[in-house]
Amino acid sequence: MPPSDRPLTAMIDPAAGPPDCAAYEQAGGWQATRTVLKTMTPAEVIDIVTRSKLRGRGGAGFGTGQKWSFVPREPASARRKYLIANADEMEPGTFKDRWLMEGNPLQLVEGMIIAAYAVQAGHGVIFLRGEYHLACARLQQAIGEARRQGWLGENILGSGFGFDIHIHTSAGRYICGEETALLTALEGRRATPRSKPPFPQTGGLWGAPSVVNNVETLSNLPHIITNGADWFLALGRGEDGGTKIYGVSGRVRRPGAWELPMGTPLRQIIEEHAGGMRPGYTLRALLPGGASTAFVDATALDVPMNYGAMEKAGSRLGTGMAIILDDRTCPVGMLHNLEHFFAQESCGWCTPCRDGLPWVERLLAAIEAGAGTPEDVEQLGRHARMLGPPGRTFCAHAPGAMAPLASGLKLFAQDFTAHITQRHCPLRHAA
């Protein structure tokens, strides 16, 4: 597609629906597929994506080209390999991938073709959140049309490379956002994470080399191939290249999502694009990248929304979808709601997560109800210290759950004290 400040969302028109193959091609679609299959080697595709500094948009931020480089280099015909699009999107407050799949599913299809060619995978799977019924229908339509037009199947464009895509609708577990749990679920087993090594790139789905990439990550690929790595880098406002779909939910005037240069400050996203806070509400704090990121307060509004800056601010970019806490919402109640979700979604594989998160939830419920004690707050702090650091649980689920708790205990210490001393929620009592 032509260079644009919004390469991912330029063709998304909610009123008109997604483009068909003809409209997609007329706007520049499939150009990258032709370029890749007719003029580039898999190694050259990996190189340009590596130079673009495209990082995973699902939350971890791992270098995409680097991830691909770990896959054995045999051609697709010599060894079974898989490419999986992680479209489960169960992170609370996050809805960017749904927007992309509903608005322009062919962009994801083309991105998967490019990624599959780079790693020489002959089989593709979209692991889709089961509740995304409209996205599923539109993806099925797009994949079917792409097959009929010859963009999927055997010997695409006479290149000798064959690739096809199938949709797997998830049964609905947050843990499937962890790539090895996703692979286990695809195999028809209980969705529990796997020990690593082996890493999925060498031993993934049914023991075969497998790459799992996020929907937004894959959707960037056609534009990087068409316009080049330098073009993609120039779109960002710092060392991280490209654009990012940022979102805001909570009591703002215009909740939603917007594609903006990587590194756009929080203040611009919230005040300019989300329209600022609703009348009568003041921003108190926010989770910048979904529910599994740490709270930051209003002093962080001028921090660029990129990977490095958010880490320095004490949180993570995550999915880039901010959840706003306003001054009329109880932070203890919000934390209780979050930890209820994380406790419910634990796969139960390791004891600290299986038993620790329900304990955290019960403590928060007691404090919110006015039955808490100072010792309960101390116990919450111990859980945050024990479960928060990576490596103490089997996967990152518990550390993610502890990010809002640990930061909330610091930022909202007075609220916890008020709940305990007054024996009720001050905000609810005032209302």
CATH 3.40.50.11540 residue ranges of the chain are: 21-234
CA torsion angle 98 112 235 6 (round to 10): -40
Model confidence at 177, pLDDT cuts 50, 70, 90, reads: confident
Long-range contacts of 149-158 (CB under 8 A, 24+ apart): 149/21, 151/21, 151/30, 151/33, 151/109, 151/110, 151/113, 152/109, 152/113, 156/33, 156/37, 156/113, 157/33, 157/34, 157/37, 157/38
DSSP 203-218: S-GGGS-EEEEEHHHH
CA 78/CA 41 separation, integer angstroms: 16
- In Å, the largest CA–CA distance within the chain is 74
- Is residue 429 scored above 90 in pLDDT? no
Check if CATH label 3.40.50.11540 holds for domain 21-234: yes
CATH 3.10.20.600 residue ranges of the chain are: 238-326
DSSP type of residue 269 = I
Q: In this predicted model, what pLDDT tens digit does every residue of 194-232 receive, in sequence order? A: 988 899 999 999 999 999 999 999 999 999 999 999 999
42-64 mean pLDDT = 93
Phi and psi based region of residue 28 (left: phi greater than 0; alpha: psi -120 to 50; beta: remaining): left
Model confidence at 375, pLDDT cuts 50, 70, 90, reads: very high
Q: What is the mean pLDDT of the chain?
A: 93
Q: What is the pLDDT of residue 14?
A: 73
CATH 1.20.1440.230 residue ranges of the chain are: 331-430
Q: In this predicted model, what pLDDT tens digit does every residue of 248-296 receive, in sequence order? A: 999 999 999 999 999 999 999 999 999 999 999 999 999 999 999 999 9
Highest mean pLDDT among 12-21, 166-175, 288-297 belongs to 288-297
- Is residue 239 scored above 90 in pLDDT? no
**CATH class of residue range 331-430:** mainly alpha
382-408 mean pLDDT = 94
- Is residue 112 scored above 50 in pLDDT? yes
Q: What is the pLDDT of residue 171?
A: 83
Q: Determine the length of the chain.
A: 431
Q: What is the pLDDT of residue 59?
A: 82
Q: What is the CATH number of domain 238-326?
A: 3.10.20.600
